[in-house]
Amino acid sequence: MYKVPDRKIRELLDRPFDGSDIRAILGTISPSAPASLETVAELIRACESSPDLQREVIRRADEVKKDVFDNKIKLFVPVYISNICINKCLYCAYRSPNIDMPRRMLTPDEFRAEIREVLSMGYRVLELVTGETPSLKEPGALATYVRIAREELDKVSDGNEKGEVILMSWTLDDEGFSSVKDAGLDGFYIWQETYDEKVFRDLHPDDSPKSEFKKRLEVFDRAIWKGIRKIGMGVLFGLGRWEYDVLATIDHGRYLEKTYGVCPDAIGVPRFKKADGAILAEAPNPVTDEQLKLATALYRLAFPQSHIFLNTREKLTLLIELLEGGGSEMNIACAVYPGGYTEPTKDRQFDFYSFPTETTMAKLQEKGFEFTYFENPTAVKI
Ligand code: SF4
């Protein structure tokens, strides 16, 4: 089971920059020779004092990404099942004590309609999202929704790409993983939020299940044991110190590679955003745009084969910069409320953008990007 090498990470970050030839180091990094944890720490320290070096790091990340993915962007769409949640994360509008938030869990029929809606828009990677909802924790309940998503996706998947059903939920137990896997789940993504245990405990009150730091840390081991090998990991930037969390995420990914031969499918770079009804009004450790760009590039250099997973918490101009510096997967349309595509609402988990699919894709195509896991909506037959 994974444990955070806290002392090692702090030592790496505390070492002064030794003046190494960063350009030479970057030249040694390639899809078959990823950056080591020590190299990433070295790059962080070097970039602290030199914007020029940071530009070099980002440029190299873009080259490495193109070696693996060309200029293709994998598109996904988040689909919320429920915003009922027993947890109390201080940064989230869906925390249980927020009684002003309207709560909704889609019925299976409502969920099927929502899935059909996003499929009709052309999307083929469905990221199912839910709060920790007691009725969904009943045996087989969550699997019902996974099965519906899989059924609807299979109906439209006669192209080259079959599409994917990804789940982002709470830390499932063995039985939970088995049932969603049997229902047709392709992958399980979950953010550690922060690998700094003290910060994690401060942000997740200990009378809620999410406060179990160790259980969250071990969730990928349990998923993999049950045959789910498509894993998405990362932190919510802004909670812990970003450099620490980048190194810990990379170390965790290396552990999965060495222990199970599983390279992360995706590494997310979500960043703290204000949420009405949350306790925290500001990020405890704010992350600037430049730091977010560097983190994206460093993940790319450490995991050339993984998707670096962007999201519409950020403006399109910044997303484009992130795509030009290592990012390879993103959403365009976005609703963060159950039923938000069939019945748009102002209720939300956090501040975000939702861009019009067609014009945004046209803008990205002008910049040379192509898309995967998307079918022309006119070709959809549901
Ligand atoms: S972040 Fe997730 S687990 Fe925490 S309160 Fe919000 S919905 Fe619940």
| Site residues for ligand 1, CB cut-off 6 Å | 85, 87, 89, 92, 94-95, 131-132, 210
The preferred substitution site among 83, 90, 92, 211 for testing ligand 1, maximizing ligand atoms within 8 Å of CB, is 92
> Whose alpha carbon is nearest atom 4 of ligand 1?
89
- Average per-residue pLDDT in the chain? 95
Q: How many residues does the chain have?
A: 382
Structure tokens given for 322 = 């992130």
The preferred substitution site among 84, 91, 95 for testing ligand 1, maximizing ligand atoms within 8 Å of CB, is 95
Give a three-class secondary structure readout of the chain: CCCCCHHHHHHHHHCCCCCCCHHHHHHHCECCECCCHHHHHHHHHHHHCCHHHHHHHHHHHHHHHHHHHCCEEEECEEEEEECCCCCCCCCCCCCCCCCCCCCCECCHHHHHHHHHHHHHCCECEEEEEECCCHHHHCCCHHHHHHHHHHHHHHHHCCCCCCCEEEEECCCCCHHHHHHHHHCCCCEEECCCECCCHHHHHHHCCCCCHHHCHHHHHCHHHHHHHCCCCEEEEEECECCCCHHHHHHHHHHHHHHHHHHHCCCCCEEECCECCCCCCCCCCCCCCCCCHHHHHHHHHHHHHHCCCCEEECCCCCCHHHHHHHHCCCCCEECCCCCCCCCCCCCCCCCCCCCCCCCCHHHHHHHHHHCCCEEECECCHHHCCC
Percent of the chain with pLDDT over 70: 98
Q: Inform me whether the pLDDT recorded for 287 exceeds 50.
A: yes
The pLDDT, as a whole number, for residue 99 is 95
Band (pLDDT 50/70/90 cuts) for residue 208 is very high
The preferred substitution site among 84, 87, 105, 193 for testing ligand 1, maximizing ligand atoms within 8 Å of CB, is 87
The pLDDT, as a whole number, for residue 331 is 95
Which atom of ligand 1 is least distant from the CA of 96?
5
Band (pLDDT 50/70/90 cuts) for residue 207 is confident
Q: Inform me whether the pLDDT recorded for 75 exceeds 50.
A: yes
Band (pLDDT 50/70/90 cuts) for residue 206 is confident
Instruction: Tell which wins on pLDDT, 319 or 18.
Output: 319
Separation of 107 CA from ligand 1 center, angstroms? 20
Which atom of ligand 1 is least distant from the CA of 95?
5
The pLDDT, as a whole number, for residue 88 is 97
Separation of 231 CA from ligand 1 center, angstroms? 19
Instruction: Tell which wins on pLDDT, 317 or 351.
Output: 317
Q: What is the arithmetic mean of pLDDT over 256-279?
A: 96
As a whole number of angstroms, the distance between CA 139 and CA 2 comes to 27
Q: Inform me whether the pLDDT recorded for 159 exceeds 90.
A: no
> Whose alpha carbon is nearest atom 7 of ligand 1?
131
Structure tokens given for 59 = 């440029």
Band (pLDDT 50/70/90 cuts) for residue 382 is very low
Token match 């409320």: residue?
A: 337
171-192 pLDDT, tens digit each: 999 999 999 999 999 999 999 9
Band (pLDDT 50/70/90 cuts) for residue 378 is low
Q: What is the arithmetic mean of pLDDT over 160-172?
A: 91
Q: Which sequence spans correspond to the domains of the chain?
A: 6-379
As a whole number of angstroms, the distance between CA 190 and CA 130 comes to 11
Q: Inform me whether the pLDDT recorded for 381 exceeds 50.
A: no
106-145 pLDDT, tens digit each: 999 999 999 999 999 999 999 999 999 999 999 999 999 9
Q: Which CATH architecture describes the domain 6-379? A: Alpha-Beta Barrel (3.20)
The preferred substitution site among 82, 84, 89 for testing ligand 1, maximizing ligand atoms within 8 Å of CB, is 89
Structure tokens given for 3 = 């444990």
The pLDDT, as a whole number, for residue 344 is 84
210-259 pLDDT, tens digit each: 999 999 999 999 999 999 999 999 999 999 999 999 999 999 999 999 99
Q: What is the arithmetic mean of pLDDT over 36-65?
A: 96
Separation of 196 CA from ligand 1 center, angstroms? 18
Closest C-alpha among 194, 192, 183, 265 to residue 224: 265
As a whole number of angstroms, the distance between CA 145 and CA 244 comes to 36
As a whole number of angstroms, the distance between CA 220 and CA 218 comes to 6
Burial of 257-291, coded b for 16+ CB within 10 Å and e otherwise, reads: eeeeebbbbbbbbbbbbebebbebeebbbebeeeb
Other C-beta atoms closer than 10 Å to the C-beta of 98 total 17
Strands 164-168 and 125-130, how do they pair? Answer: parallel
Which atom of ligand 1 is least distant from the CA of 93?
6
Separation of 87 CA from ligand 1 center, angstroms? 6
The pLDDT, as a whole number, for residue 160 is 59
The pLDDT, as a whole number, for residue 351 is 82
342-362 pLDDT, tens digit each: 988 888 888 888 999 999 999
Q: Inform me whether the pLDDT recorded for 380 exceeds 60.
A: no
As a whole number of angstroms, the distance between CA 347 and CA 276 comes to 9
Distance (Å) of CA 231 to CA 136, 248, 252: 21, 16, 12
As a whole number of angstroms, the distance between CA 77 and CA 348 comes to 16
Query: Does residue 338 contact residue 83 with C-beta atoms inside 8 Å?
Result: yes
Note the pTM of the prediction, 2 decimals: 0.96
Output the CA torsion sign for 230, 65, 71, 297: positive
